[in-house]
Amino acid sequence: MPVFINMPSLSPTMKEGKLSKWLINKGDKITSGDVIAEIETDKATMEIESSDDGFLFEKIVQEGDEKILVNSPIAIIKEEGDTEEKLNTFSKASDIKNTKTIPSDSDGKLNKRDENRDKETQTKEVTKSKNLDISSRIISSPLARRLAEQNNIDLSMIIGSGPKGRIVKDDLKLENLSEGNIIKESSLSGTSNGDAKFKDVPNTNMRKTIAKRLTSSLQEAPHFFLSVDCDISKLNEVRKIINDNNNLKISVNDFVIKASSKALKIVPKSNCSWNDTFIRYYQNYDIAVAVAIDDGLITPIIKNVEMKGLEELSSEVKELALRAKENKLSPEEYQGGNFTVSNLGMFGVKNFTAVINPPQSMILAVGMAEKRPVIINEEVMISEVMTVTLSCDHRVVDGALGAKWLKVFKSLIENPSLMLL
């Protein structure tokens, strides 16, 4: 008998996702365990497997569709003996299960259309599209999708007349297409009053999540910032010896990660997070590393840093960063962490402040290392200096505690042999 393939839950916090790509076509034979599609969550794109055998009968959800609720059907698999009646019954069931309300604009109204449009036509289009949000996924019946595919009709340009803006078979009839239920492309891309043009690009799930989490962090966590200059001349000498004699490429950032975990261990009260009724103190030292990717930012976690040598640490950082840029991280590899390191030194940034990654209580912003004149033993000398800025959540990390952690960190960075203790 036919069965549904449902949108899986790929992380404990996932409520909806985006179907980025189908890896199978209608009619293809499927075996349990076959990879059938790529799903985009708020942080990564992941492959999903079929748990049933059969043939792909219907794609309920199309590539690019967003806000697909967890456990809602995305496709139908049939067996060889399934009758047309059974399959039609399943298609109707998918129409019911997959229907959901499409949100309107933040003020509850539609976007303003061309002011010069004829009033009668404008009223007709607004009536048809009150529940339509072009950036949301297209809601249409399986039959309408088949007809659109057969006739090369772009469903994203059609205003549905069914419940909640659903596109149905009648919307694809020639007479209806000519009556104005096609959204003109100019109404979507728009131009300004002058000659300048603009393009609206829908926000990805990752971009929305970054905006939501960091806005919440700034609004809820009272940030304060502490900066210090670190002389990394000794560190670079040690790094050069290690790399030259072992054919390695240990980076300054690897030392920063190692020193951060060591400082958390030496100052245990700083290894914590705020909750409304308690403060949680951690006994592990997992460091998140900010990695820039095409759609935004992700923070893969290096776990148990205090137990790893620089070679192992460096190798793991490189591997996770590479997989992050390829959207191949699993949720457990980027969720959690006690502390975050964000390094913009490679972009020539001298110093900056970073927003805390909740529920963590601190994040370290690392700037570019440069040669500066410093006074050592009453003499002016040239040293390699790096400025770091610690952002702290004042609800749980007071100024003195943050300063103590930063003092220990500076001592470790300027005297890397202390990291061996």
Using DSSP bridges, classify how beta strands 73-78 and 3-6 pair: parallel, antiparallel or unpaired: antiparallel
- Whether 223 is catalytic is no
Catalytic residue chosen out of the listed positions 86, 394, 395, 407: 394
Tell me the angle at which helices 399-414 and 233-246 cross, rounded to the nearest 10 degrees: 50
Q: What is the DSSP letter of 336?
A: -
Token pair, residue 184, equals: 């003109």
DSSP letters for 49-109: E-SS-EEEEEESS-TT---EETT-EEEEEE-TT--HHHHHHHHHHHHHHT--PPP--TTSS
Strand ranges (DSSP E) for 240-295? 272-274, 279-281, 287-289, 291-293
* Other beta carbons less than 10 A from residue 100's beta carbon: 15
Give the CA radius of gyration of the chain: 28
- Residue 282 exposed, middle or buried by CB count within 10 Å (0-12, 13-18, 19+): middle
Active site residues: 394
